[in-house]
Amino acid sequence: MRCPKCLLCLSALLTLLGLKVYIEWTAESRLSKAYPGPRGTPPGPTPSSPEPTLPANLSARLGQTGPLPSAYWNMQQWRLGALPSGDSAEAGDCRAWGAAAAAEIPDFASYPEDLRRFLLSAACRSFPRWLPEGGSGQVASCTDMDVPYLLLAVKSEPGRFAERQAVRETWGGPAPGIRLLFLLGSPAGDRGPDLGSLVAWESHRYSDLLLWDFLDVPFNQTLKDLLLLAWLDRHCPGVSFVLQAQDDAFVHTPALLDHLRALPPSWARGLYLGEVFTQAKPLRKPGGPFYVPGSFFEGGYPAYASGGGYVIAGRLAPWLLQAAARVAPFPFDDVYTGLCFRALGLVPRAHKGFLTAWPADRTADPCALRDLLLVRPLGPQDSIQLWKQLWDPQLQC
């Protein structure tokens, strides 16, 4: 009589195990439908284990599996071990990458001036903080008792005072679990007025400006990303999420917080969320802002979230710094971020609530925007008016 009982027990256990596996599989399927990943992206970690990895050879992971293209970036990435650290003692080393670009790219002299300037100093990534006289306006580190859940890291330029003030008075205003920082280069500039005294006053007044002593031009936006990551790693390592956005974005902060808090914990650990482009290619028409010569880069872009605004998990900051040290410089900050995530084996997640190409003639209707997370661009006055309307208790949609 014992054998039949054992068989019955074994059968029951196998049935329960099969039922458990089925329940977990169906739950994962429902989550995948609720938060669909981008199409056309390279395979990466599954949603249940989005842990970053950094292989010894990045070429295959970055899509270079066929014959090596002759373009300079592709060749550099194939043979790149690591970029120089670029501190003051190694300034010559960090400029060697640019000098090699100028020497090895046959039509380098025909490149647009801004692109040439970027390439000549692209590997120089260590810059001192720009501080007002007297050191006022220092940005405080996060303390153990005051680690933000969501850090709003807003890219701005020294002269965009109105845009920064609009952010402070609307979606970036004081709120529990949220901290606001603006990322800027030097206010001295090279083609305009010296805004140092005005920016110094603003820094002293608000203490929310992270300023570095480099030229604040479009092709240096990647520096803001990298220097922010270094600051997070040293001064705010415990932050849960970081929103990186432009100062003309409008963020529905409460809706964004609700979305982040509802994410499955395993997904939140490797989060890279925004408006995702999966089939983007370099634009070859000279004269445009996103022109990329064929002699510099061949192939398609990785899946990436639009630089107008995206969210990453704070724990990924040191990982992204490691990846950036081994990914050859690229002139567009959002594409470069996508390359670094791909180097880590992570892919972006698309969310329809991120709209980073808001039509200029489209009305900013509070009812239409109430369920969105981020729209861009909006002017300062439009942002202030929209924020007031969203918080109007008499608003009916």
Rg (CA), the chain: 24
Residues sharing a CB contact under 8 Å with residue 50, sequence separation 6 or more, in sequence order:
44, 266, 267, 269, 270, 346
pLDDT at position 9 is 46
Burial of 171 (0-12, 13-18, 19+ CB in 10 A): buried
- Does residue 77 lie in a domain region? no
pLDDT of residue 29 exceeding 70 = no
- Does residue 186 lie in a domain region? yes
Average pLDDT over the chain, rounded to whole? 85
What residues are paired with 151 via a beta bridge?
A: 179, 242
Q: For residue 385, give the amino acid letter.
A: Q
Residue 356 neighbours by CB distance under 10 Å: 21
pLDDT of residue 95 exceeding 50 = yes
- Does residue 80 lie in a domain region? no
Question: Number of structural domains, the chain?
Answer: 1
pLDDT at position 24 is 36
- Structural domain including 344 reads 133-390
pTM of the entire predicted model: 0.84
- Does residue 154 lie in a domain region? yes
Banded pLDDT at 89 (limits 50, 70, 90): very low
Q: Crossing angle, helix 161-169 and helix 196-206, to 10 degrees?
A: 10
Residue 242 neighbours by CB distance under 10 Å: 23
307/250 Cα distance (integer angstroms) = 14
- Contact call for residues 294 and 285 (beta carbons, < 8 A): no
pLDDT of residue 87 exceeding 60 = no
- Does residue 371 lie in a domain region? yes
Q: What is the pLDDT of residues 57-76, one digit of tens each?
A: 888 899 877 778 889 999 99
Q: What is the pLDDT of residues 165-213, one digit of tens each?
A: 999 999 999 999 999 999 999 998 777 788 999 999 999 999 999 999 9
- Does residue 93 lie in a domain region? no
- Does residue 70 lie in a domain region? no
Residue 255: which of 368, 93, 338 has the closest Cα? 368
- Does residue 321 lie in a domain region? yes
What does the DSSP 8-state code read for residue 71?
S
Q: Does the N-terminal peptide bond of residue 377 adopt cis geometry, omega within 30 degrees of 0? A: yes
For the domain that residue 195 is a member of, what is the CATH number? 3.90.550
